[in-house]
Amino acid sequence: MFLAGFRGARVVLGVARRRDRRDALQQGDPMAFELTPERRAIFDELLPKYPTRQALTIPLLHLCQEQHGYVDASVIEYVAKTLGVTTAEVQGVVTFYTLFLQEKPGRNVVWVCRTLSCELMGAREITECFEKKLGIHPGETTKDGEFTLLNAECLAACGQGPMIQLNDTYYENLTPDQLDGIIEQAKKRRDDRVKASFSPVGLRTHRDA
């Protein structure tokens, strides 16, 4: 009985939340997400290359994440509306793929490869050094919002382990004494044009290539 009541309450809350969001969107929510015209132009170029609009789900999410920094409800609404699919379908995609961040990350994202070839060469020590230097564990963001530390599964650089991916750049054959320099350099990065630290579809890949 208790459980049933509990679940009922959650359902009611969920419906209310969804209704709020829908109303907010209809009233021109100030938080509603829109792609910038330059990014929208990339989307418009990609669109005729696929037979369905839904095929653009992943490329469009990458574009949005490059602009917004992560994927939240406003992005999901925007993608669903743009592609003519349900928010549930978009959410299903967002939660499936590792690269879509569902919480706001730090300005710099450090992915330390933890898989076998890298771990054989000392990836564990690299992770521990980052933990010490940044004061956070994998999965966390520093208080000043500068760094998010994450563990990555094999990044296809097995011959150059241990390695990290800092934003969209690979650093290979790492030793612990190199980390201070890498951290300092990342702090100095001033790249206001692009919010997300990393995106395979976006201004940096499609316009700078």
Partner 1 sequence: MPVEQTRYLTGNYGTPDSWTLAAYEKNGGYQSLRKALEMGPEWILEQMKAANLRGRGGAGFPAGLKWSFLKPNPEKPNYIAVNADEGEPGTFKDRTLMEKDPHRCVEGFIISAYALNVHTVYVYVRGELVLSIKRLMRAVEEARAKGYLGDAIMGKAFPLDIVVHAGAGAYICGEETSLLNSLEGLRGEPRLKPPFPAVVGAFGAPTIVNNLETLATVPTVVSLGGEEFSKLSRLHHIKDGGVRLYGVSGPVKRPGVFEAPVGITLRELIYDLGGGMRDGRTLKAVIPGGSSTPVLRPEDLVHAPDEKHPLHAWHGKSHIDVPMGVDTMRGLGTMLGTCCAIVMDDTTSMVRAAENLMLFYAHESCGQCTPCREGCAWMARLCRKFASGTATRADLDTLYDVANNIMGNTICALGDGAAMPMLGILKLFRGEFEAAIGKKAPHLGGPA
Burial class (CB in 10 A: 0-12, 13-18, 19+), 99: middle
78: contact with partner 1 by CB under 8 A:
no
CA distance linking residue 18 with residue 155, whole number of Å = 38
Nearest by Cα to 87 from 75, 98, 99: 75
76: contact with partner 1 by CB under 8 A:
no
29: contact with partner 1 by CB under 8 A:
no
Quick one: which of 69, 105, 106, 161 contacts partner 1 (CB under 8 A)?
Answer: 161
Site for partner 1 in 35-54 (CB under 8 A): 46, 49-52, 54
In angstroms, the Cα distances linking 72 to 42, 66, 131, 154, 198 are 21, 13, 27, 26, 17
CA distance linking residue 110 with residue 130, whole number of Å = 9
Measured from the CB atom, is 107 or 114 closer to partner 1?
114
DSSP assignment of 179-204 equals HHHHHHHHHH---TT--SS--SSSHH
Contact 32, 78 (CB under 8 A): yes
122: contact with partner 1 by CB under 8 A:
yes
Q: Tell the smallest beta-carbon distance from residue 156 to partner 1 (Å).
A: 5
Q: Tell the smallest beta-carbon distance from residue 11 to partner 1 (Å).
A: 24
Point out which span in 9-17, 134-142, 177-185, 201-209 binds partner 1 (CB under 8 A).
201-209
Q: Are strands 164-166 and 108-113 parallel, antiparallel or unpaired?
A: antiparallel
88: contact with partner 1 by CB under 8 A:
no
HSE, side-chain direction, 13 A CA sphere, residue 51: 0
209: contact with partner 1 by CB under 8 A:
yes
Measured from the CB atom, is 113 or 182 closer to partner 1?
113
β-strand partners of 112: 151, 164
Point out which span in 11-19, 28-36, 149-157, 179-187 binds partner 1 (CB under 8 A).
149-157
Quick one: which of 38, 140, 146, 168 contacts partner 1 (CB under 8 A)?
Answer: 168
201: contact with partner 1 by CB under 8 A:
yes
Which letter does DSSP use for residue 119 in this model? H
Site residues (CB under 8 A) for partner 1? 46, 49-52, 54-59, 61-62, 83, 85, 89, 92-93, 96-100, 111, 114-117, 119-125, 128, 152-162, 165, 168, 170, 198-201, 204-206, 208-209
